[in-house]
Amino acid sequence: MSFRYFLVTCVCFTHSFFIVAQSELDSLKAVLQSNSDDSSKVRTAMYLSRQIHRLNPEDEDDFRFAELAVEMAETHDDTLLLAESLDNLGLLYRYHSLYAKSIPLHVRAVELVKDKEVDPYFKMRFANNVGVSARYDQAFDLAVEYYLFALKIAEEENNLRNIAIASNGLGNSLSYIEGKDEEALEYYLKALETEKEQENTLGMAMNYLSIASYYSRKKDYPEARNYLDELLIINTERKDKHGLGMTYEYYGHSYLEEGQDLNQARAYYQKALEIFEEINQKHKVSGMLLALGEVQLQQNRTSAALDYFRKSLRIAQEVNNKALIRECAAKMSEVYEKGENYAQALQYFKMAESYKDSLNLVEQEATIAGLRMEFDFEKKENEINLLQAEKDLQEQQFLLSEEKFKRERTLLFGMLLAIIAVTLVIILTLRNLNLKKNLALQLEEQKRKELEAAYRNDLLQAEVLATRMQMNPHFLFNCLNSIKLLIQKDQKREAIKYLTTLSRFIRDILQTSKVPTISLEEELELTRKYVELEENRFGQNLNFGLLLDNIDEEELQNTRVPPMLLQPFVENSIWHGLLPSPAPFKKLEIQIRKNSQGIVISIKDNGVGRQKKAANPEHNSHKSMGVSITQQRIDLFNRISGKNMVFDTLDHKDEQQMPTGTEVKISLSEAS
pLDDT-derived band at 357, boundaries 50, 70, 90: low
- Using the predicted structure, report yes or no on whether residue 87 has a pLDDT greater than 90: yes
Give how far the C-alpha of residue 153 lies from the chain's centroid of Cα atoms, to the nearest Å: 41
Q: How many CA atoms lie within 13 A of 567 on its CB side?
A: 29
How confident is the model over 151-180, as a mean pLDDT? 89
pLDDT at 402: 67
Cα–Cα distance measured from residue 529 to residue 469, given in angstroms and rounded to the nearest whole number: 13
Length of the chain: 672
For residue 423, what are the contacts with CB-CB under 8 A and spacing of at least 6? none
- Which one of 3.30.565.10, 3.90.1150.10, 3.30.365.10, 1.10.760.10 gives the CATH number of domain 515-670? 3.30.565.10
- Using the predicted structure, report yes or no on whether residue 632 has a pLDDT greater than 50: yes
- Using the predicted structure, report yes or no on whether residue 585 has a pLDDT greater than 90: no
How confident is the model over 567-594, as a mean pLDDT? 87
CB-based burial, 144-177: b 16+ in 10 Å, e otherwise: bbbbebbbebbeeeebbebbbbbbbbbbbbbbee
Cα–Cα distance measured from residue 377 to residue 551, given in angstroms and rounded to the nearest whole number: 51
pLDDT at 380: 44
pLDDT at 643: 87
pLDDT-derived band at 370, boundaries 50, 70, 90: very low
Sign of the C-alpha dihedral, residues 572, 573, 574, 579? positive
Cα–Cα distance measured from residue 79 to residue 66, given in angstroms and rounded to the nearest whole number: 17
Cα–Cα distance measured from residue 630 to residue 465, given in angstroms and rounded to the nearest whole number: 9
Write down the H helix ranges in 218-281. Answer: 221-238, 241-258, 262-278
Closest alpha carbon to 651 in 635, 662, 666? 662
Q: What is the pLDDT of residues 40-78, one digit of tens each?
A: 888 888 888 888 888 887 777 888 888 888 888 888 888
Q: How many CA atoms lie within 13 A of 559 on its CB side?
A: 25
What are the beta bridge partners of residue 591?
Answer: 547, 602
Cα–Cα distance measured from residue 134 to residue 448, given in angstroms and rounded to the nearest whole number: 48
For residue 386, what are the contacts with CB-CB under 8 A and spacing of at least 6? none
pLDDT at 281: 87
pLDDT at 579: 82
Least confident span in 17-26, 171-180, 249-258, 571-580: 17-26
pLDDT at 53: 85
pLDDT-derived band at 88, boundaries 50, 70, 90: very high
pLDDT-derived band at 521, boundaries 50, 70, 90: very high
User: Cβ distance 256 to 295 under 8 Å?
Assistant: yes
Least confident span in 5-9, 121-125, 439-443: 5-9
User: Cβ distance 319 to 282 under 8 Å?
Assistant: yes
For residue 138, what are the contacts with CB-CB under 8 A and spacing of at least 6? 176
Helix axes 282-298, 302-319, angle to 10 degrees: 160
How confident is the model over 507-518, as a mean pLDDT? 80
pLDDT at 668: 92
Domain boundaries, the chain: 515-670
Least confident span in 198-202, 518-522, 608-612, 654-658: 608-612
- Using the predicted structure, report yes or no on whether residue 368 has a pLDDT greater than 80: no
In terms of pLDDT, which residue wins out, 468 or 510?
A: 510
User: Cβ distance 109 to 377 under 8 Å?
Assistant: no
How confident is the model over 502-521, as a mean pLDDT? 82
Cα–Cα distance measured from residue 26 to residue 29, given in angstroms and rounded to the nearest whole number: 5
Q: Is 610 exposed, middle or buried (0-12, 13-18, 19+ CB in 10 A)?
A: middle
- Using the predicted structure, report yes or no on whether residue 308 has a pLDDT greater than 50: yes
Least confident span in 129-138, 346-355, 533-542: 533-542
Q: With H, G, I as helix, E, B as strand and everything else as coil, classify residue 606.
A: coil
Least confident span in 165-179, 205-219, 277-291, 538-552: 538-552
pLDDT at 9: 36
Closest alpha carbon to 25 in 47, 58, 57? 47
Q: Across all residues in the chain, what is the average pLDDT?
A: 80
Cα–Cα distance measured from residue 574 to residue 567, given in angstroms and rounded to the nearest whole number: 10
Least confident span in 13-17, 284-288, 557-561: 13-17
Please state the pTM of the whole predicted model. Answer: 0.47
Task: Provide the terminal-to-terminal Cα distance of the chain, rounded to the nearest Å.
Answer: 76
Q: What is the pLDDT of residues 399-452, one digit of tens each?
A: 666 677 778 778 888 888 889 988 888 998 888 888 888 888 888 888 877 776
Write down the H helix ranges in 339-472. Answer: 342-401, 405-471
pLDDT-derived band at 390, boundaries 50, 70, 90: low
Sign of the C-alpha dihedral, residues 69, 72, 78, 82? positive
Helix axes 140-157, 160-174, angle to 10 degrees: 160
- Using the predicted structure, report yes or no on whether residue 465 has a pLDDT greater than 70: no
What are the beta bridge partners of residue 645?
Answer: 668
pLDDT at 667: 93
pLDDT at 381: 46
- Using the predicted structure, report yes or no on whether residue 597 has a pLDDT greater than 70: yes
Cα–Cα distance measured from residue 319 to residue 286, given in angstroms and rounded to the nearest whole number: 9
Cα–Cα distance measured from residue 324 to residue 328, given in angstroms and rounded to the nearest whole number: 6
- Using the predicted structure, report yes or no on whether residue 27 has a pLDDT greater than 80: no
pLDDT at 36: 59
How confident is the model over 183-208, as a mean pLDDT? 87
Least confident span in 14-23, 102-111, 142-151, 251-260: 14-23
Closest alpha carbon to 521 in 557, 546, 554, 551? 557
Cα–Cα distance measured from residue 268 to residue 144, given in angstroms and rounded to the nearest whole number: 34
Q: Is 59 exposed, middle or buried (0-12, 13-18, 19+ CB in 10 A)?
A: exposed
